[in-house]
Amino acid sequence: METQSNRATEKVYRDANLTSVIIGCAIEVHQALGPGLLESVYEACLAFELTKAGCTVERQMCLPVSYKGLELNEGFRLDILVNDAVVVELKCVERLLPIHEAQLFTYLKLSGKRTGLLINFFTKLLKDGIQRIAC
């Protein structure tokens, strides 16, 4: 008999495997392009690599905010949502700041997703610019 706990554990493993695929694709893009381009370029290339890897990708997904029954579309947009499970927020900045983490946490909360990746393509080695966040 499958329990709710078993399903939750399986989802964590699926998300962990998916984040590994996403990171691998991001490294592929970074090795080909290097640091310093616009985020939009990395986003398009990462979406291409993820699709090639068999993932479902949504780009620039609008996230409305609900407030006392009012739905506001005030410009919150996910960079990439992979397999309707992992939120990927891309940056191309000198260093990641707490505000970037807060932004990803906000997107996770608004989307109802539990796993996110913050990827900074400005770093010399991409592995130094990746943060995995799980709620």
Please write the tens of the pLDDT for every residue from 99-125: 999 999 999 999 999 999 999 999 999
C-alpha distances (whole Å) from 100 to each of 12, 29, 53, 130 are 23, 21, 27, 12
pTM, 2 dp: 0.87
Contacts with 85 (C-beta within 8 Å, 6 or more apart), sequence order: 14, 15, 18, 113, 115
Query: How wide is the angle at C-alpha 63 spanned by C-alphas 126 and 85, nearest 5°?
Result: 55
Using alpha carbons only, how large is the chain's radius of gyration in Å? 15
Q: What is the pLDDT of residue 29?
A: 98
Q: How many other C-beta atoms are found inside a 10 Å radius of the C-beta of residue 64? A: 12
* C-alpha span between 112 and 116 (Å, rounded): 11
39-88 pLDDT, tens digit per residue, is: 999 999 999 999 999 999 999 999 988 889 888 887 789 999 999 999 99
For 30-61, b/e burial (b = at least 16 CB within 10 A) is beeeeeeeebeebbebbbebbeeeebebeeee
Contacts with 19 (C-beta within 8 Å, 6 or more apart), sequence order: 86, 115, 117, 132
